[in-house]
Structure 1
Amino acid sequence: MDDRIFHVLEYDKIIEQLSQQASSSLGREQAKGLKPSSDLEIVRKRQNDTDEAANVLRLKGHVPLGGISDIKPILKRATIGGMLQPEECLDVASTIYGGKVMKSFIEEIEDAYLPILNELVEDIVPLNDLERAIKSCIDDHGKVMDGASDTLRTIRSKIRSNESRVRDKLEGWTKSKSKMLSDAIVTIRNDRYVLPVKQEYRGAMGGIVHDQSSSGATLFIEPQAVVELNNQLQEAKVQEKHEIERILMELSDKIANDESFLYQNVTILGQLDFMFAKARFSKSIKGAKPKMNDQGIIKMKSARHPLIDDSDVVPNDIELGEDYSSIVITGPNTGGKTVTLKLVGLCSLMAQAGLQIPALDGCEMTIFDNVFADIGDEQSIEQSLSTFSSHMTNIVDILSKVDHKSLVLFDELGAGTDPQEGAALAMSILDDVVNRGATVIATTHYPELKAFGYNRDGVINASVEFDVQTLQPTYRLLIGVPGRSNAFEISRRLGLKENVIETAKGHMGQESESVENMIASLEESKRGADRDYEEAEEHLQQAQQLHRDLEEKWELFEQKREELYQKAEEKAQKAIDKARKEAEDIVAEMRQMKNQAELKEHEWIEARKHLDEAQPELAKKQAQPKQKKQSLPSLQQGDEVKVISWNQTGHIIEKISDKEYQVQLGIMKMKVKANDLEFVKREEPLKEKPMATVKGSSYHVKPELDLRGERYEDALKRLEKYIDDATLAGYPQVSIIHGKGTGALRKGVEAFAKRHRSIAAARSGGMNEGGSGVTVLELR
């Protein structure tokens, strides 16, 4: 694009504001070089960059970009063997630190999807060793520290000692020979300690004269007695200078060795600074990310000119590219026509540069290869061109370049010449540009162009509203309504006599008067439609608010219901826990009785069943979907089944009828209804492990129990039932697999073994049995 358009549309002012948002010269340099692109993919990438940075600012409010400097010139000097100054080394260290902080800041953000930023900071190299090397030699004020080397520490100690000796010597003279001195102080001239001696005592003092006062009354003399001490001091300072230069050269070499990483870091940090400068600028203008297209479609709701103060700017809705691609705006001067023209052009340039635009969310912008504008009085005094000639020169240049990928902005097209000829030229120029497929916005005073939009496809009239009552423009853009001159109404409001106004109306042609009346009717209809829209919008807001209120109340109702369910369940659970504890006490007592007396096993199982059935079912917090009962297959002898009412697993002994089976549960045989059975599995005869038989039944129990992954309480419950089953099966010993883990489950198994009546002994598994992850129990 021609650089002239950036000045005409004030894009350069946008760039100036953008550069002020950068935190470093790196970001400012990129901001000042930002130009619009005509490549759709590049523009979308730029918009995504800005949007990610804006999301981070929205979430965090700030970005830690302090301490970053443009160290590229420093790196260049270091790589060619130059010695860097302490302040330059500090800039390198500060930039390394700033990169680490920024990398950590972005990586710790978990509230947003940031693929671009994460990819950038991933390539930042920490360079901790180089940073430590610099910080261990140079303090925050840019001074090489004593600890930078042992040699420097020794030299500086020697300097301080010599300085102390010289000052002590001279301060003694200030007391003993004060009458010879202009002032009883020790001062420095030419880096040597001297005394201010009166002129008349020059011979009496002796020594080397280094300077004198402007009046000549005072001589600054280095007494002969301290000359040698001053010489030693100067020699030490020279050594100090050489050692500092050696240290700085060493640091410069280290910086040169990491030049590629440092250059990469500073390039990334410059890109980050630029991205966040765009985000801060977007925040300052209340911008939104536009959806970019290459179909010529522009949609902006409540668009505002970014260079006009928020308190003064009037938002407008602008659409182009779908029903129409050209707008002809008519209306009075100072009504906002030119501002609207510049708004569309400037927002197009901003969007193609990757900047967000000052409009509401959901805006859409298109890609133009070129933006052309003929705006304002560009009369050239040097070329002795009139206003009309200047405009036409510009328009001729535009017509030679315009195509279907162009945005053309004409301000007061055809002005500056005979009105009839100017109107004819304006319509001809517009026809030519529209026929080439360009997107056009033009402003004009000519009444002939008011009908232009009615006779051309893809062209629509518009105007800026004018309040006749206040004699002030409202700056609102009215799409589809041509502008009125309002001359008669304004004259009447200003006091022009009615008879003069009526006479003037008589001079107007009937056609012009009809057009003005039509425009007035359109304006009134537009205002009515706007009022209806605002009323409908208000009703919509009220309905949406009512909907939100109902949702909140329903949510509160659900929450209250859940709380009541919870309280009821907690109360029931307490009662159940109490009853279960009592039941467990009963069971324990029954087991003791079994040891002392002959209690039948089926009687114990039946008692336990009654205890389990005593537990009530708790209401669920959420209604569970009703599951369809699994269809029962044709059961056969030996099938493993679950007796639902007893919550026990057993095997089919025989089929009594279609509705009843005989089932073996432990040592018990019982008749069970078919609808109380749930099929578990049908096993083939086991070959790997022998079947434990009890009294001729096929009750199968494995010789080991795997408790890995179980909760502690659940594991002990399973273990208790398993020991009973294994005892019934007649196993002499079983293996309990609990794993190593924290050891809690192993200790629980050992404690259980000590107190269980059926367990004779317990030991850890051997090397071929699983080691400490298995406990072997010997059964009685």
Structure 2
Amino acid sequence: MENRVLKTLEFDKIRDIVATYCTSSAGRTYMEKLVPVSDFQEVVRLLEETDEGLAILRVRGNVPMGGISDIRPHAKRAQIGGVLSAYELMETANTIRASRILRQFIESVDADEDIEIPHFLAKKESLPILTVLEHEINAAIDDNGRVVDSASGTLRSIRQSLRIQEGRVREKLEGYTRGRNAAKMLSDSIVTIRNDRFVIPVKSEYRSHFGGVIHDMSSSGQTLFIEPDAVVQANNEIRNLKMKEKDEIEKILQELSVKVQAVAHDLFVLVDVLAEIDIILAKSKFGTAHKCTKPEVNNEGYIRLAKARHPLLPIDQAVANTIEFGKEITTIVITGPNTGGKTVTLKTVGLCTLMAQAGLPIPALDGSEVAVFDSVYADIGDEQSIEQSLSTFSSHMVNIVDILKKFDSRSLLIFDELGSGTDPQEGAALAISILDEVHGTGARVMATTHYPELKAYGYNRPGVANASVEFDIDTLSPTYRLLIGVPGRSNAFEISRRLGLHEHVIKRAKKFTGTDRGEVDSMIASLESSRVQSEKDAEKTHALLIDTENLKRELETKLAEFEEMKEKLVDNAKEKAKKIVDDARVESEAVISDLRALRLNVGASVKEHELIEARKRLEGVAPKDKKKKVIAKAASRPLEVGDEVKVISYGQKGTLIEKVSAKEWIVQIGILKMKLDESVLEYTKPEKMKDPVVSASVRGRDSHVKLELDLRGERYEDALHRTEKYLDDALLSNYHQVSIIHGKGTGALRQGVQTYLKKHPRVKSYRYGEAGEGGHGVTVVELK
């Protein structure tokens, strides 16, 4: 894309706004080079990266990007053998640390959040890992860019000697400041430093009393900063130690610079990747702040912008327009008066296209779609050039001639006020000819004009559509709404009439316009009236549709409530009936009991089978709960004694103990034995192979395993052995919960048992017993 076009369509301003969302200087530097690309796959990738950034910001709110510096100059200087300063090394370590934190953040987002971020994961993988260098620099340099004492043993020794020597000098000089004559001879009772040497402020008339070297003088000349003879040698020693300190620091920085030199290329890559991530996040933050969305892209020249607005206009002031063309219609000609919003519409289309091709979200609703063009050309605004002695028309034509030399079928062309600045008839003819030239190649074209001759352009050429910007006669102002399919008409007569121009003047003016012009204006007025009525009808239909949908949802809710209420009523009725029959059964049992007693006592001839029949009849009166018929899956093989099965009707597992008939089995479920029909049994494969002897013993055992194990009074080792064996027996008996009684005592047995339970693979959880279960003297174990 040409820089002149980027400036004409104000892409450079958008780029400057996005740069403000960058958090690093490297990101801002890279943002200055951001330009639209024309490769379709590259555009898709850029938009997907921005969409991932939007998703991350949505779920996490922010991304840790602090501490990043553009350390490429540091790496380059180290690469050619330069020695980096402590501050430059600190920036290098901080940037490496920032990359490490960012890498961990991206990994946590991928692990914890339900979003796909393949591009961020790829960039995370491309970040070089330089943790060793980071730690080496941090071990020698603190956060303030100062080489620490621990950077080397020599430096620690030098600084320790330096502190001791400075303490001695200060102590000696403070003896002067505390002396009897200090108030008389000294300007101030302090020890200060001049030329890196400790001195005291002496009044000029007492200079000879102290001797030594004068290092400075106050502006009035009344105070001399003197280094007394008594500390000259000590100050010389301090100076010597400081020189050694400087040499040692230089040596340390040299060693660290060599280590930076070894990974200089990785540092270049590190800054590049961090800057790319910074730019992606800046695009995402811009999209969030300006209510932009990710558009779909195509390679067929099709553009559909849903409620698009110019991104440089305030959101609450910009008028959103839906613009669609590029399939059957490849050229749109917008006519109408000036200041109606035609130019803003052109810039909106061009700018949204450039933004999408640069990976930026666009200021339009979801579902918008833009095409990827090889080139975008624009001729907009007043191109008058005083330096080249060119008129507005000439400047426009120079630009248009250049465009006509370069464009092709995969170009987007934008012309503002095509053919203006010259004789109206010649300008209109040129505009029609230029439009024919570019339209015939298949390029996508948007043009504005105020020539009436172009209002009929779209009616006799396939693939061309007229459009206009709406003007409100009542308020005498444009609404900035784009009307595709309706050419613009002049509102001069209506405006003049509203402003008070005499009617006879307006009638006379109409005579000069000609019959054809009047017919065209009438046709346009009719079209606008029909459009307004169609929009009103559409709004009414939409409102009716919403009401219908609301009524449908309300009826569905009422129906669901009715079904729920009906179900509750039926359940309540069943409960009441069941209670009545249960009461009757209790009463009948009492009667039968009395009859039995009577028969035994007095020999009444009441037969037992008659009593059983009576009880069955009573049980038949009780209402039965509707249960879904349980059908077991077809067994993979015939069932045998000892098989593990799932009892479908209860959802529990059990073991086949005995076959009592062709279709009935005795099944042991935990501590219960039940006679069940084979239709509700489903064979399950055992989780692991069991020892045949053990299996046989399990098949043959009755439920001799208790639900609790009492360890009180047991020795520690014996108790753990019994616990292990008891858990095995409980698992083989399909127990889901057991209790282990260990007592309170010293707590050693309790702790040992719970430590063993914590490591047992088949223990799901354990807890202390409740108040009625034995409290802390019992551990209740849940098995899996």
What's the TM-score, normalizing by structure 1? 0.75
Hey, what does 1:42 align to over in structure 2?
Answer: 42
1:303 to partner: Cα distance: 0.2
Q: Per-residue CA shift, 1:652-678, capped at 9, x if unaligned?
A: 99xxxxxxx799989xxxxxxxx9776
Amino acid at match of 1:426: A
Asked if 1:370 is matched to 2:382, the reply is no
Q: How does 1:44-193 map to 2 (within 5 A)?
A: 44-109=44-109, 110-176=113-179, 177-178=181-182, 179-193=184-198
Asked if 1:387 is matched to 2:392, the reply is yes
Counterparts in 2 of 1:207 and 1:437: CA distance versus 1, 3 Å = same
Counterparts in 2 of 1:298 and 1:567: CA distance versus 1, 3 Å = farther
Q: Return the alpha-carbon distance in structure 1 between the equivalents of residues 724 and 8 of structure 2.
A: 76
1:14 to partner: Cα distance: 0.9
Hey, what does 1:15 align to over in structure 2?
Answer: 15
Is the CA contact 1:287–1:356 (under 8 Å) kept in the aligned structure 2?
yes
Q: Which region of structure 1 is more displaced relative to structure 2, 463-472 or 244-253?
A: 244-253
Counterparts in 2 of 1:568 and 1:362: CA distance versus 1, 3 Å = farther
Q: Per-residue CA shift, 1:342-395, capped at 9, x if unaligned?
A: 111111111111111110001110011111111111011111111111111111
Q: Return the alpha-carbon distance in structure 1 between the equivalents of residues 428 and 527 of structure 2.
A: 23
Gaps of 5+ in 1: 572-609, 654-660, 667-674, 683-690, 693-700, 707-717, 724-739, 754-771, 774-780
Q: Return the alpha-carbon distance in structure 1 between the equivalents of residues 97 and 127 of structure 2.
A: 11
Q: Return the alpha-carbon distance in structure 2 between the equivalents of residues 258 and 569 of structure 1.
A: 81
Q: Per-residue CA shift, 1:219-256, capped at 9, x if unaligned?
A: 32211111011111112222222222233233333333
Is the CA contact 1:645–1:676 (under 8 Å) kept in the aligned structure 2?
no
Amino acid at match of 1:150: G
Is the CA contact 1:643–1:650 (under 8 Å) kept in the aligned structure 2?
no
Counterparts in 2 of 1:542 and 1:447: CA distance versus 1, 3 Å = same
Q: How does 1:276-675 map to 2 (within 5 A)?
A: 276-546=281-551
Amino acid at match of 1:164: G
Q: Per-residue CA shift, 1:621-651, capped at 9, x if unaligned?
A: xx86x67799999x9999x999999997766
Q: Per-residue CA shift, 1:80-126, capped at 9, x if unaligned?
A: 33322222222122112211221222222222111111222134345
Asked if 1:220 is matched to 2:213, the reply is no
**Total equivalences in the alignment:** 655
Amino acid at match of 1:489: E
Q: Return the alpha-carbon distance in structure 1 between the equivalents of residues 723 and 30 of structure 2.
A: 58
Q: 3-state DSSP class of the match of 2:140?
A: coil
Hey, what does 1:769 align to over in structure 2?
Answer: none
Q: 3-state DSSP class of the match of 1:216?
A: coil
1:270 to 270, 275, 278: 275
Amino acid at match of 2:391: S
Counterparts in 2 of 1:556 and 1:206: CA distance versus 1, 3 Å = farther
Counterparts in 2 of 1:619 and 1:319: CA distance versus 1, 3 Å = farther
Amino acid at match of 1:119: A
Hey, what does 1:29 align to over in structure 2?
Answer: 29
Q: Per-residue CA shift, 1:23-76, capped at 9, x if unaligned?
A: 112221222111111111111111111111111112222111111112222222
Is the CA contact 1:481–1:519 (under 8 Å) kept in the aligned structure 2?
yes
Counterparts in 2 of 1:741 and 1:129: CA distance versus 1, 3 Å = farther
Amino acid at match of 1:228: Q
1:174 to partner: Cα distance: 2.7
Amino acid at match of 1:72: R
Q: 3-state DSSP class of the match of 1:289?
A: coil
Q: Return the alpha-carbon distance in structure 2 between the equivalents of residues 538 and 662 of structure 1.
A: 65
Counterparts in 2 of 1:249 and 1:183: CA distance versus 1, 3 Å = same
Hey, what does 1:587 align to over in structure 2?
Answer: none
Is the CA contact 1:304–1:315 (under 8 Å) kept in the aligned structure 2?
yes
Hey, what does 1:703 align to over in structure 2?
Answer: 696
Is the CA contact 1:642–1:678 (under 8 Å) kept in the aligned structure 2?
no
1:741 to partner: Cα distance: 12
Hey, what does 1:583 align to over in structure 2?
Answer: none
Counterparts in 2 of 1:663 and 1:321: CA distance versus 1, 3 Å = closer
Q: Which region of structure 1 is more displaced relative to structure 2, 347-356 or 534-543?
A: 534-543
Q: Which region of structure 1 is more displaced relative to structure 2, 129-138 or 349-358?
A: 129-138
Amino acid at match of 1:348: T
1:209 to partner: Cα distance: 1.8
Q: Return the alpha-carbon distance in structure 1 between the equivalents of residues 147 and 64 of structure 2.
A: 28
Q: 3-state DSSP class of the match of 2:207?
A: helix
Is the CA contact 2:648–2:680 (under 8 Å) kept in the aligned structure 1?
no
Is the CA contact 2:334–2:342 (under 8 Å) kept in the aligned structure 1?
yes
Amino acid at match of 1:172: G
1:434 to partner: Cα distance: 0.5
1:452 to partner: Cα distance: 0.5
1:430 to partner: Cα distance: 0.7
Amino acid at match of 1:435: G
Q: Which region of structure 1 is more displaced relative to structure 2, 403-412 or 536-545?
A: 536-545
Is the CA contact 1:705–1:722 (under 8 Å) kept in the aligned structure 2?
no
Q: 3-state DSSP class of the match of 2:403?
A: helix
1:564 to partner: Cα distance: 11
Is the CA contact 1:409–1:442 (under 8 Å) kept in the aligned structure 2?
yes
Q: Per-residue CA shift, 1:275-303, capped at 9, x if unaligned?
A: 10111111122111111111110001100
1:749 to partner: Cα distance: 6.9
Counterparts in 2 of 1:167 and 1:506: CA distance versus 1, 3 Å = same
Q: 3-state DSSP class of the match of 1:300?
A: strand
1:128 to partner: Cα distance: 3.5
Q: Return the alpha-carbon distance in structure 1 between the equivalents of residues 730 and 460 of structure 2.
A: 94
Q: Which region of structure 1 is more displaced relative to structure 2, 149-158 or 516-525?
A: 149-158
Asked if 1:241 is matched to 2:246, the reply is yes
Question: What value does the CA root-mean-square deviation take over the aligned residues?
Answer: 4.4
Q: Return the alpha-carbon distance in structure 1 between the equivalents of residues 553 and 384 of structure 2.
A: 60
Hey, what does 1:720 align to over in structure 2?
Answer: 702
Q: Return the alpha-carbon distance in structure 2 between the equivalents of residues 239 and 681 of structure 1.
A: 87
Q: Return the alpha-carbon distance in structure 2 between the equivalents of residues 186 and 272 of structure 1.
A: 53
Counterparts in 2 of 1:159 and 1:332: CA distance versus 1, 3 Å = same
Is the CA contact 2:296–2:368 (under 8 Å) kept in the aligned structure 1?
yes
Q: Return the alpha-carbon distance in structure 2 between the equivalents of residues 521 and 456 of structure 1.
A: 22
What's the TM-score, normalizing by structure 2? 0.75
Q: 3-state DSSP class of the match of 2:216?
A: strand
Counterparts in 2 of 1:557 and 1:72: CA distance versus 1, 3 Å = farther
Q: Per-residue CA shift, 1:374-417, capped at 9, x if unaligned?
A: 11110111111111111111111111222211111111111111
Counterparts in 2 of 1:516 and 1:211: CA distance versus 1, 3 Å = same
1:265 to partner: Cα distance: 3.0
Q: Return the alpha-carbon distance in structure 1 between the equivalents of residues 382 and 504 of structure 2.
A: 38
Is the CA contact 1:462–1:482 (under 8 Å) kept in the aligned structure 2?
yes
Q: Return the alpha-carbon distance in structure 1 between the equivalents of residues 624 and 251 of structure 2.
A: 83
Counterparts in 2 of 1:34 and 1:631: CA distance versus 1, 3 Å = closer
Counterparts in 2 of 1:43 and 1:547: CA distance versus 1, 3 Å = farther
Hey, what does 1:761 align to over in structure 2?
Answer: none
Q: 3-state DSSP class of the match of 2:406?
A: coil
Q: 3-state DSSP class of the match of 2:366?
A: coil
